[in-house]
Structure 1
Amino acid sequence: MKNKFIYLSVLAFVFAGCEPEFENELSDSNYSAGDADFSSYVAIGNSLTAGFMDGTMSRVGQQYSFPNLLAQQFAVVGGGEFTQPPFDADVDNLGGLLFNGNVIQPTRLIIDAGDGGPENIAGTPTIDITNQFAMAYNNMGVPGAKSFHLLAEGYGNIAGVPLGQANPYFARTATSPTATVLGDAMSKNPTFFTNWIGNNDVLAFATSGGTGVNQEGNMNPATYGSNDITDPTVFAGVYSQIINTLTSNGAKGVVATIPDVTSIPFFTTVPYNPLSASVIGDGDAAVGQATIQQLNQQLYGPLKQALTAFGQGSRINLLNPNGNNPLLITDETLSNLAPQLTAALTMAGFEPQLAAFLGNAYGRARQATASDLVLLSTRAAIGAAPQGAPAPFNLFGITYPLQDQHILIPSETSVVATATASFNQSIRQIAASKNLAVADMNQILNQLVSGLRTEDGQIYTADYFSTSTISTVLFSLDGIHPNARGYAVIANEVLKVINDHYNAKLPLVSAGNYPGATVLPSNAN
């Protein structure tokens, strides 16, 4: 079964080539740095600081990083040069990365006007990380970095990249194999900084569908997996060390809180109930009325009957041929009824091997509810065939349960929320101890759920791309990172905090003058 993609008009993106403009004339002599000194501005963080969008770093995308937008405004009041890791070799703006000629990260996502999308732009990346620069830059945002990675020696050791022991982005620029991100940042002698780190300490767990481990109580981050949640005490200690170092020479700065993952399109775009007899709305997957009737007779009905006999009939309901129906998922918090189901199916005449397969497949199965968050990446899996599953039990989300990596269930969402709240409390407390400004990005992104009105009167949302919201969406096609407009909104929020906390008068930018997604007539070399 093929999923229904969102189709967008090329005309809706004619603004994509617009050049960014300042909201205020920069010749206004009333602008002031206030109590801040922007002569050496350094930004540390992860992909949100680097300018990551549409699933990768690219030459043009990097230009819209919020630190780069800030630096342009700081220049009005004496801000110094602001440098970013070089992406000149990304000539065709494909994005992606190579390691010795081998692709280690794909190209950026675009919309193909003919086929829909999103999809990776055709072509081969031209940025090879083995072409090293060994130089510190003002933008020290490292995609993929967690808080403790900023202090880790060897995180930029090129030899560790194939082994998963080093970061390919930092390996391009690290000043030595043992350099740290924070150490290279401090070599720029910052007088002002922004620090937006910590998202990946919890986000990686969420975007993996909760396949990682909550490491609360484990004080050794060297033992953490890539999708694990950082222990809150470890996070607070690392964050305090970062801030102490950044302010050691008297620098002022802004720190940012961590957004609640439920506010971003990666978790809010794919509905929990997309299955219907025919396409009803965006995101629906047409199953067909005859198929629904057949499923009720041959799978959902017998399965519900068996589960009811075990006192768990509420896990499964018959499909409604006249409306939307929930996905079939695995919930690891449920008691495993695999032995009971296997025995019941065997007694019903199923061949023992098939009965065992079905018992294991449906032992913790249930239908999704509105409390479950279906990952954006799961959209492509719905209706696909899981490896080794026999027909007709080989349709993910329909006749075979989606797995842990596809769904964030309520217990996992709760763990994420608890960690996020703890991290944000530490961020605020540590910032207050140094009298630093705080940009509450958690609050700002939560406002996008209902609509955020900017200074120009436009209302922006956290919706994913559709024909009706195309000009008001602030997220890129990966559903996690902002687009250029989104980074402009972030820059504005930071500018407003600086103006308020440091008695500065800095010009804002107009988000409406920044581009959205890339639409191509066709996706071909």
Structure 2
Amino acid sequence: MKNYKYLGLFLLTLGFTSCNVNNELDAIQEEIVDQVQLDANGLDFSKYISIGASFTAGYTDGAMFKAAQENSFPNILAGKFGTEFNQPLMADNIGGLVYGGTAVQPPRFYFDGAGPARLPATPTTELTAVLSGPFNNFGAPGAKSFHLGVAGYGQLNPYFGRMASSPGASVMGDALAQSPTFFTLSEIGGNDVLGYALSGGSGIDQTGNFDPSSYGGSDITDPNVFAQVFSGMVTALTANGAKGVVANVPYITDLANFTTVPYNAIPLDAATAGQLNGAFAAYNGGLQQILDLKNANLLPAQVLPLLVNYDQAEVDRRQVNFVAGQNAVLMLDENLSNLTPINPGLTNMRQATADDLLLLASSTVLGTTVGGNPQLINGVSVPLADEWVLTPEEQTAIKTATDSYNTTIGAVAASNSNIALVDFKGVLSEASTGIMFDNYTMTTSLVTGGLVSLDGVHLTARGYALMANKILAAMDIEFGSNFTTATNGLAKAGDYPTNYSPLLR
């Protein structure tokens, strides 16, 4: 770029030294930017379909609504592909669902100046109203990997029910019926661990159980079940030569839902801390007493199996102590030794550490009273229930399953020349500290980060645009297209919002 900083000063000086000056300046030529033509290198986008769950659908701010669907990453991609793309749009920008006039899913979140709040409006999208297809976007919020091939899944998932071709249809069946020439298969496996995470690890890690029909909604899917399902989907989608992009699964515990509420969220003054310490003195002493009895072989033989791992380290870990200032949340931990058969007053509680993750929803529970009793305060004098916290052991279960899913995804992509792999796991990991998108630095922080929406799990419109660009970049590498260098080949960050106005209805 030329530097014209001193041009005015030069002309002024010239005016003092000569009277015969031509004061008419030549026009500064506008810099011409070379136009780069898009080259898809033979990719056929005439029938593009997207398959996945909530990210694919454009779910954001805790709901589905029209503007968010229009800013879904598949719709952004379709715009770059220049292809027609039909989506099962909601009836409004309020979000939520109604059944027979009664709201059964809440409206979207908006930022009320302090934090996420539900939009004070009534949804209008009727759950039972089936739309007329065919559709290109088969994103079904809440779907786990093994759900996508289930016949009649629309009767279990209202979002798919709105677009299913028939009551007995499956997501994969309807998608394959469109004879896709190009596809995206994204966030498959995300919900296979997300339900467990959002329940605070209350579900079951089903590793080793190959029967998904026996799983609960909050359970972790067995990696072998996932591998069979995912491999089968890719095989079916590429059988007729279609090409596509698959995305790996991020560590969902990097999302704002699990990183926003601090473990030491309890502020206390010295007097209150002292009162609490007095109340817990007997509890702390009881923990040590049981260990002393165990070490002295003075406990009944029938309780010894409960104390196999009970040692001084666990006693110290379970000690409850409050100070003036910020204090760790009091919580239940099912991984601790069960002492209640020996002493009913010694429940499985401890104070949280920096290694624990409190769910975003725990902020609505912390500091509230139990039954209106001012002496019984959640997270302070009453331990926070297991459903609000992910312990290190529960986080390990999530990470182990995610790593297994990603091993499968990577292997399937590597073995099939029709598949490009996008590293969404790497994108989210980078965003934990900051990822550049045009002139914006995006992070996973709630509200201010720009990447994660107000529900703490799903992306903002700008986040979905970044995801679309990462997919296009992966296509360039694998298929030889040039979206990343073509003029207007990528989505621009400034074209997509990070928050939707509460006036948008």
CA distance in 2, matches of 1:247, 1:226: 30
2:334 aligned to 321, 324, 332, which one?
332
User: Does structure 1 residue 59 correspond to structure 2 residue 66?
Assistant: yes
- 1:49-448 matches, cutoff 5 A: 49-75=56-82, 80-87=83-90, 89-90=91-92, 93-113=93-113, 116-157=114-155, 166-196=156-186, 197-277=188-268, 288-297=269-278, 299-311=279-291, 312-321=315-324, 323-342=325-344, 359=345, 362-386=346-370, 392=375, 394-435=376-417, 436-448=419-431
- TM-superposed deviation, 1:72: 0.7
Structure 2 CA distance for partners of 1:121 and 1:404, relative to 1, 3 Å: same
- TM-superposed deviation, 1:340: 4.1
> 1:112, 1:118 within 8 Å by CA — same for their partners in 2?
yes
- TM-superposed deviation, 1:336: 1.7
Q: Share of identical aligned residues, percent?
A: 43
Query: Where does residue 48 of structure 1 map in the other structure?
Result: 55
> 1:304, 1:316 within 8 Å by CA — same for their partners in 2?
yes
- 1:445-524 matches, cutoff 5 A: 445-454=428-437, 456-465=438-447, 470=448, 472-506=449-483, 507-518=489-500, 520=502
CA distance in 1, matches of 2:253, 2:348: 25
CA distance in 2, matches of 1:198, 1:104: 26
- TM-superposed deviation, 1:391: 5.2
When normalised by structure 1's length, the TM-score is: 0.81
Letter in 2 for 1:32: D
Q: Determine helix, strand or coil for the equivalent of 1:156.
A: helix
Query: Where does residue 354 of structure 1 map in the other structure?
Result: none
Structure 2 CA distance for partners of 1:132 and 1:519, relative to 1, 3 Å: closer
Query: Where does residue 19 of structure 1 map in the other structure?
Result: none
> 2:149, 2:171 within 8 Å by CA — same for their partners in 1?
yes
CA distance in 2, matches of 1:405, 1:308: 28
Structure 2 CA distance for partners of 1:129 and 1:26, relative to 1, 3 Å: farther
Q: Determine helix, strand or coil for the equivalent of 1:276.
A: strand
Unaligned runs of 5+ in 1: 1-24, 158-165, 278-287, 343-358
> 1:136, 1:187 within 8 Å by CA — same for their partners in 2?
no
> 1:474, 1:485 within 8 Å by CA — same for their partners in 2?
yes
CA distance in 1, matches of 2:290, 2:351: 17
- TM-superposed deviation, 1:61: 1.0
- TM-superposed deviation, 1:290: 3.0
Letter in 2 for 1:308: Q
When normalised by structure 2's length, the TM-score is: 0.84
Equivalent residue pairs, number: 444
CA distance in 2, matches of 1:211, 1:305: 30
144-153 vs 378-387, greater mean Cα deviation: 378-387
Q: Determine helix, strand or coil for the equivalent of 2:477.
A: helix
Letter in 1 for 2:476: N
Give the 4+ runs in structure 1 shifted more than 4 A.
25-29
> 1:136, 1:185 within 8 Å by CA — same for their partners in 2?
no
Residue-by-residue CA offset, 1:318-364 (whole Å, 9 max, x unaligned): 2110x32100011101112224444xxxxxxxxxxxxxxxx2xx510
CA distance in 1, matches of 2:462, 2:404: 29
CA distance in 2, matches of 1:400, 1:422: 37
CA distance in 2, matches of 1:220, 1:155: 17
Which is greater in Rg?
2
